[in-house]
A and B are shown apart, each in its own frame.
Chain A
């Protein structure tokens, strides 16, 4: 069975599927991060979200994050799925599963993955608020890149 470890999907994410992708007899730990749609952000109520991605490049960048993790935590296995399209409050937007022989690497690599997703993966969310809608990333939640492009490890600028 060929399954994609780094995937953009437009259907609900099944967390167990990601867990089974990283399961291994060498693993002593599996961490999962589940990013969900939040209703309230700084007093503003979100009704729903819409995610859009540049799918082929987003999957490539997820894979690049996986490669970075292999460098930093060599014995881990990583799977990442991000959902796009229309999401309701509490829906799962992203799931990251990391397995490793010992728990520390699984925790650390998992947190690293979500931080990198927010930096380099071409995915955008549009908030549908009670009073209007906004693409996020242009003003409120994100700062412009300090350099001309997101820093990708192993990439020579």
Chain B
């Protein structure tokens, strides 16, 4: 099981703050693909992924138990 945290427009699109997916192992890239296809999340191409609070790369592997955050372009300040 991996936990996926949603923010900004992604949270609005799904209507909830997090998702739990029954996945043992997946790359960042494949996860983004899956979320685009299954949950119709938009703008995933500009969305960063953080795994356990660290920015991750496309081919990093996410494991069961990890907390993944989807991070659209930030706009703080």
Q: Measuring CB to CB, which residues of chain A are less than 8 angstroms from any residue of chain B?
A: 35, 51-54, 56-58, 60, 82, 93-94, 114, 117-126, 135-138, 141-145, 148-150, 152, 155, 157
Chain A binding surface SS class: mixed
Q: Range of interface residues on chain B? A: 20 to 34
Also in contact, A123 and B57, with CB within 8 A (given A144-B46, A145-B48, A150-B48): no
Also in contact, A124 and B75, with CB within 8 A (given A138-B43, A148-B58, A149-B57): yes
Nearest to A53 among chain B residues (CB) is B76
Nearest to A127 among chain B residues (CB) is B75
Q: Is the CB of A114 within 8 A of B77?
A: yes
Nearest to B50 among chain A residues (CB) is A57
Besides A123-B74, A124-B8, 10 other A-B contacts (C-beta < 8 A): A52-B11, A54-B53, A54-B69, A118-B76, A121-B74, A124-B72, A137-B72, A142-B73, A144-B73, A150-B55
